[in-house]
Amino acid sequence: MNNDQPASFATGKPPLKTLWLRRLLWLLCGVLVLWLLAWLAVPPLLKSQAQSQLSELLGRQVTLGEVDFKPWSLALSVRDVAIARAANVTQAGLAPQFTLGHLYIDVELQSLLRLAPVVDALVVDSPHLRVTHTGQGHYDVDDILARLAPQPSDPAKPASPPLRFALYNLMLSNGLVVLTDAAKDQVHTLSQLQLNLPFLSNLDTHVDVHVLPKLAFDLNGTRFDSSAQTLPFATARETDVRLAFKDLDLAPYLAYLPASLPVRLGSAVLDADLKLAFEQTDKPVVSLSGQVGASRVRMSLAQGGTVKPPASGELLAFERLSVQLKDVQPLLGQVQLGQVTLTQPRLNVQRNRAGVLSLLALAQPVAENATNNKAVSPDAERAGGQSDSQVADTASAPAWQLSVDTITLDGGEVTWLDQVPAQPAQLKLTALNINASALVWPFSQPMPFDGSAQLAGAALQFKGSATDQAAQVSAQLAAWPLTAAQAYLADVLLPRLDGTVTADLGLRWAAAQGAQAAVTELQVKDLSLDKLALLEGKKAPLASIARVQLQDVLVDLGRQSASLGKVLVTQPKLAISRADNGRWMAQDWLKAAHTAQDAPAASGQAIAAKPAAAEKPSWQVKLGELQLNEGNFVFADQSTPTPVALAVSAANVQLKNYANTGPQSFGLTLSARLRHGNTEPGKLAWRGSGALSPLTLKGDLAAERLPLHALAPYLSDTLNIALLRADTSFKGRISLAQQTAGLALQVKGDARLEDLQVRTLAQAEPFVAAEDLLNWQSLSLTGINLALAPATATRLEVQGTVLSDFYARLILSETGRLSLQDVTKTVTDPVNQASGATGNAVVGAVPAPATAGASAPSLLASASAPASTALAPVVRFGPISLLGGHINFTDRFIKPNYSADLTELVGKLSAFSSQTAAGEIQLADLELRGRAEGSATLEVLGKINPLVQPIALDIQGKVRDLELAPLSTYSARYAGYGIERGKLSVDVAYKVQPDGQLAANNKLVLNQLKFGDKDPNATTSLPVKLAVALLADRNGVIDIDLPISGSLNDPQFRLMPIIFKIIGNLIVKAITAPFSLLASALGVGGGDELSMVSFDAGSAVLSDQAKAGLDKVAKSLTDRPALKMTVVGTASLEAERDDFKRQQLQALVQGEKRRNQPASDGKEAAAPVKVSAEDYPALLKAVYKRGDFPKPRNLIGLTKDIPVPEMEALLLAHLDASEAAMQALAVKRGVVVRDYLASLKLPSERLFLGAAKAVTPESKWQPRAELNLATE
């Protein structure tokens, strides 16, 4: 026996090692049995319980396919898991809600040792989930979610530490999620879902082991790929995640954007390659970097907003937006971007007819969808709400900081469509390129930028820098066509504006800081408007400017100031016109103004009433230099009675150092040529300076032959004449200054008015037809010095005056007004007008052929009442010369009218003044010579001062040998007889004393005046021949002396009417009392008695007194052989009946006595018989007895003797006294007078017997024979 055998053999017990082996064997067998039992029982049991429990939990039928469990490796495999759809879904052919192709879990045995699950592998293959959105925020899995959600009745679970686990090799492959949105009619598919997680554990030994998950999938055809590295359960939780996807088309998701968004995303494709780094420390760090991009983005305004979308629909579009994220730390509010590139952006900005910009829609929600948003997501408000702590965290969050290295915009396009104008305006900004760099927010340094673009085909370049507090930019625009703005101009202008704009601009802006106000400055280095033209159809331009150029312009909007360095206007051309209805051409260019209508306020905008702003100061404008070169302007006005036409050419204007405020002086220079009609243009030039405060203007004016007559129609309401031509020249200095009391004016220089042509208006009193009124070749005023100042007497000095080659048509009207007085129209009341006519008659005296020297008193009589001596103007005139004058005068105030034509007038007037010297009026020497009616010499000499009141003068005038034959037509018209020959000479002398007393002497001498035959067409016939015959002496000379005196201070005193009244009285006297005129010419009395020869009643016997009168008549007729005498006897039966019978009775008595006398010779028989008183009774008785008429008889029948008176009575009663007897008596009387004149040796051919007349007696009528004088 071996002593080495174990003790167990000795005892009979198995050895210890064998025991343990047995135990181990049994244990192994037990494990194998358990494994076997588990392998056989777990799969069916798990399948059964899982299907039952999951179905009950989810409320859906859950089915499992093959279940395989390997207890030896603790590996579980489940296939074909399916969750059915809800029971109420009856649609056939629908796939299960969820299916799982294969689930494999491999649990490590060390899970028992670690008392925590340690999974060596977790494989999920082909998980497919199908979800349907039924609308209104509900899904077909809502019932499952509701069953899984914690119930309020569930007891609260106590807080427990998180489950400890370790997971290796998590793999999910071939995943599929299908979301069917029935409400949006969309199907979204997430396929090829893969998730790889090599390791994930929160065991203490694994906390610092990096987890490297990887996720990839296809979302609606877009591949997403990501990878990460993280320590999820370490203290710092360091994590790095990478996410990349490309060409993610957002079209399937557009329907899910909130309806309240003001814009609609039409399309977009996203790219991203991002890296996210996270670290949990005391200050957590989240950093995002990488590249993001968007392509083919199209956005438009939403429908239903208060701002209607544009017709084109598109608001913003771009081909590519690429953003490089250098470091974005959202927790720290820091964003660092590298390159930001926007490629081919297109922005459409519109303004609707209400004036609302389409961009305003970006700040406004779509109102009609606001309620829908709440209905769709009732919990959105709660989900989006913030707790007080979150609000506090937000308030304490750091301000965001942004930095961008570079910003690039390439190939941009901006389209502006404005529907406010009647014709919608559209402008395009194309080829827009912008480059910016070093953008920092908040700004710590300016951001420089530059760019370029094409604006309506014009090149635009700009460059500048900007911060949030200041910005400056410069821009250059080349040849931008103004036609691009035609739509806006069309609302104002009917014609089309053409031209181009080239500009070099600058803009500077600075925000207000403290007491420093904000600054907004616009700088125009150079601005040119070229080839400006206002066009209408295919006609010539209505207006044009070759170039308008502005240089060095600075506009400060804050200070309301503008400084213009230089403004240049080149070759402006403009036709200024006004139609006959008074409308200017600009009114026809401009569209009629419409009533302003307030645009409706946009919905959702609350426009608060603003308080009235304080009145701002007016703009301050400074202009360094303004130049207008080569301007041409044509002015035409059809609204005046006579159209106005004036052409201005070669206009040049230069204005320097102008300011609209302050006392700064500016310089002004201008020149131009003015033309009217086909005459040579005049010239105008000014060079001077001025200021606005106070208003001053002074400089040198040079005007040469300016056609002032072109503007005469504007004075048609003032002038009664037609000014056909008036070329005005002036050269001198003009000063105008604003004083406290008013304007002060001073004019120094020389003036000239040339080629004056003034015509009367047709049918304008006193003219019947249009005719020349006033003409002259030249009126020259040298050494003019005019001074006007407030509260100061006006001063006028003219050193020399020359009037050459002048013509004046002067007419004195029936009312006594001179035609030159009616050159201007006056409006007076009837009383003043009547008194004016009386006063104006004083002016009516103008030299006539018979009184040529009367011009001086006519002028002096025109003086008006003296003005106030305190401010009476001071006037000084130097020598005045008249050359080549012609005055055509007609006087209609005197009846009959007369005319005078004075030619070849030459004269001079020495210096005179309105002021007195040593209290005495200074008279100027007057010399005037010429011809009257082309035949007589005219001379006026003397002294005169027309400026004093009343006028002072002492003149003498002479007219010699005025041929009267040229006045034949005139005399035939007004006198009825033409003049065959005759001459007139006049001597006048006038002297006016300082007190206004006038002494005038007018002497007229007519020589050999002879009238022709009577004019059968004359409306009047005056006895001019008789008057001449009465006034002329034996030699045919008529000498009339008319001394006149009176006071010019008497408004009723009129000189020439007195003269012509005297002459008229002579003619009237020749008609009414020729014998009185004859007696006056002879210097004898009894003129009126010589016109008739008185007889005793009933008698035809001349008395001694009658014979004496006839002796005087015979002597006058002897001295005036042109006169002829006609004797007309008269008698009256009514007045002379009884006297005629007595004369018959006396003749019968005388005849009875003659019968009783012895016979004698004839002479004695013809001699009258005297009957004595003693013989009368007997002779009467004899006549009585012879009478054949009934007589008283006695008883025996014999004629009874009766007393003498009874006999006379019976005889007178039976004597004949008929009309025939009276006619015979009248004839006898005429014969007696004629025979007596013939007895005085008057030729019988000059004595005529007129037809006797039996007349009806008037009061105080006496028997007579009438003497009538005549020349024929």
The secondary element (H helix, E strand) that includes residue 131 is: strand 118-135
What was the pLDDT predicted at 473?
Answer: 94
Residue 952 CA neighbour count, 13 Å, CB half? 19
Identify residue 654 by its one-letter amino acid code.
Q
What was the pLDDT predicted at 463?
Answer: 94
Q: Are 345 and 413 in contact (CB under 8 A)?
A: yes
In the DSSP assignment, the letter for residue 908 is E
Residue 159: partners with Cβ closer than 8 Å, 6 or more residues away: none
Structure tokens at 848: 């006539």
Structure tokens at 82: 């399916």
What was the pLDDT predicted at 338?
Answer: 92
Q: Are 859 and 946 in contact (CB under 8 A)?
A: yes
Residue 679 CA neighbour count, 13 Å, CB half? 23
What was the pLDDT predicted at 383?
Answer: 43
What was the pLDDT predicted at 840?
Answer: 39
**pLDDT tops 60 at residue 78:** yes
Of residues 622 and 1256, more confidence is placed in 622
**In sequence order, which ranges of 164-248 are alpha helices (DSSP H)?**
none
Please state whether 769 falls in left (phi above 0), alpha (psi between -120 and 50) or beta: beta
**pLDDT tops 80 at residue 819:** no
This prediction's pTM: 0.66
Q: Distance between CA 883 and CA 906 in Å, rounded? A: 5
Arithmetic mean of pLDDT, 848-860:
38
pLDDT-derived band at 963 (thresholds 50, 70, 90) equals: confident
Identify residue 1079 by its one-letter amino acid code.
A
Q: How far is CA 973 from CA 898, 946, 977, 1064, 1071, in A?
A: 10, 37, 8, 16, 18
Angle 1133-1156/1204-1214 helices, nearest 10 degrees?
Answer: 120
**What is the per-residue pLDDT across 998-1007, written as a single tens digit (0 to 9) for each?**
777 878 777 7
**Which of these ranges, 74-88, 578-592, 1251-1265, has the smallest mean pLDDT?**
1251-1265
What was the pLDDT predicted at 760?
Answer: 81
Q: Distance between CA 1000 and CA 1047 in Å, rounded? A: 11
Mean pLDDT rounded to a whole number for the chain = 78
| Beta strands at 666-675 and 75-83: parallel, antiparallel or unpaired | unpaired
Could you write out the DSSP letters of every residue in 719-781? BSEEEEEEEEEEEEEEEEEE-SSSEEEEEEEEEEEEEEEEEEPTT-TT-SS--EEEEEEEEEE
**What is the per-residue pLDDT across 871-887, written as a single tens digit (0 to 9) for each?**
788 999 999 999 999 98
Q: Are 654 and 669 in contact (CB under 8 A)?
A: yes
Q: Distance between CA 249 and CA 267 in Å, rounded? A: 8
Instruction: Tell me the three state secondary structure of residue 562.
Output: strand
Arithmetic mean of pLDDT, 180-198:
84
Structure tokens at 641: 């009675």
Q: Distance between CA 1079 and CA 1031 in Å, rounded? A: 10
| Beta strands at 138-139 and 721-738: parallel, antiparallel or unpaired | unpaired
Q: What percent of the chain has pLDDT over 90?
A: 21
Domains of the chain: 54-143+163-208 (no CATH), 719-824+841-863+872-1072 (no CATH), 1088-1157+1167-1270 (3.30.1330.60)
Q: Distance between CA 571 and CA 751 in Å, rounded? A: 31
Residue 1039: partners with Cβ closer than 8 Å, 6 or more residues away: 1003, 1004, 1005, 1033
**pLDDT tops 70 at residue 294:** yes
Arithmetic mean of pLDDT, 254-262:
79
**What is the per-residue pLDDT across 602-618, written as a single tens digit (0 to 9) for each?**
444 443 444 554 556 68
**Which of these ranges, 204-213, 557-566, 1014-1023, has the smallest mean pLDDT?**
204-213
Arithmetic mean of pLDDT, 976-989:
80
Could you write out the DSSP letters of every residue in 1109-1121? HHHHHHHHHHH-T
**pLDDT tops 60 at residue 266:** yes
Closest CA to 977 of 936, 933, 934, 1029: 1029
What was the pLDDT predicted at 599?
Answer: 42
pLDDT-derived band at 653 (thresholds 50, 70, 90) equals: very high
Q: Distance between CA 203 and CA 162 in Å, rounded? A: 11
Q: Are 278 and 286 in contact (CB under 8 A)?
A: yes
**What is the per-residue pLDDT across 499-554, written as a single tens digit (0 to 9) for each?**
999 999 999 998 888 888 888 999 999 999 999 999 888 888 889 999 999 999 99
Instruction: Tell me the three state secondary structure of residue 1087.
Output: coil
Instruction: Give the dihedral sign, CA 152/157/162/165.
Output: negative
Q: Distance between CA 165 and CA 105 in Å, rounded? A: 14
Of residues 272 and 28, more confidence is placed in 272
Arithmetic mean of pLDDT, 393-397:
56
Arithmetic mean of pLDDT, 163-173:
77
Q: Distance between CA 104 and CA 112 in Å, rounded? A: 20
**pLDDT tops 80 at residue 389:** no
**What is the per-residue pLDDT across 1082-1135, written as a single tens digit (0 to 9) for each?**
554 545 567 788 888 888 888 888 888 888 888 877 777 777 888 888 888 888
**What is the per-residue pLDDT across 472-495, written as a single tens digit (0 to 9) for each?**
999 999 999 988 888 888 888 888
Of residues 287 and 159, more confidence is placed in 287
| Beta strands at 620-637 and 561-578: parallel, antiparallel or unpaired | parallel
Instruction: Tell me the three state secondary structure of residue 1136.
Output: helix
The secondary element (H helix, E strand) that includes residue 544 is: strand 543-556
Q: Are 314 and 298 in contact (CB under 8 A)?
A: yes
Q: What is the CA radius of gyration of the chain?
A: 68
pLDDT-derived band at 668 (thresholds 50, 70, 90) equals: very high
Instruction: Tell me the three state secondary structure of residue 226.
Output: strand
pLDDT-derived band at 728 (thresholds 50, 70, 90) equals: very high
Of residues 201 and 727, more confidence is placed in 727
Name the most confidently modeled range: 403-412, 714-723, 841-850. 403-412
